[in-house]
Amino acid sequence: MKIATWNVNSLTARLQHVLDWLIANPVDVLCLQELKMSDDKFPLDVLKSAGYEAVVFGQKTYNGVAILSRTPVRDVVKNIGGFTDEHSRVISATLDTPAGPLRIVNGYFVNGQAPGSDKFAYKMNWLRALHDWLHGELAAHPQLVLLGDFNIAPEDRDSFDPVGLAETIHHTTEERDHFKGLLQLGLTDGFRLFDQPEKSYSWWDYRMLGYQKNRGLRIDHVLVSAPLVPRVKSCMIDRVPRKWEKPSDHAPVTIEIDA
């Protein structure tokens, strides 16, 4: 079973990219972030024709998340339980697999703008709420995958300039501590289960030839619960779509789990 995450930075602008990528990479589940469209604008019929059912939690202009699946999902939940949020950032659903129910939690984590800002305070509150909520989710769903755009580079090796960018957004001690807190719940970074090339990133700034110079960050992640770890076969970043015309600034990340 292959599950992927991709911040498409506007599905309106990148729908054909998604369709083309799915033809070349027929994953079982694709989680999208930053749809930047309301639910009524979501291309359900187009994706159905491509072989995917979809559940969506959209928002006009900003945010928005969706889960695309080749097989039906159930028990869909939107946003973090118990946390009031006007933004569409999390969608969860259960997929029935030969190995039992698999809970998918797809998140577009708060960016945070800059340490000390109101948006950074919102990010900290959001991350605390996510942690507390996931504690219960993991108890209810032992087989769980948390994936999406985390907007956190968890280690120095996940940044092209860890010294120059130290304690800036995505790199702060507070953000990294929250990432560690997710691991302490019993989740594992799927990408780091394997030897990976140095300077492996999933996001590159559009400006200053960010991609061409590989000035990137690894901020798109796939975390898996303990029962899934022995069954993870691979996890990789696909840089190919970042080379396409008018690409998203993020690349897809795919994990393969033995079903």
Annotated catalytic residues are 108, 149
Can you say whether residue 122 is alpha, beta or left, with left for phi > 0 and alpha for psi between -120 and 50 degrees? Answer: alpha
The Cα 259–Cα 249 span in angstroms is: 31
* Token pair 């960016």 in the structure block, residue: 111
The Cα 116–Cα 112 span in angstroms is: 9
Can you say whether residue 232 is alpha, beta or left, with left for phi > 0 and alpha for psi between -120 and 50 degrees? Answer: beta
Per the DSSP assignment, residues forming a β-bridge with 177 are none
CB neighbourhood size of 124 (10 A): 17
The Cα 220–Cα 16 span in angstroms is: 21
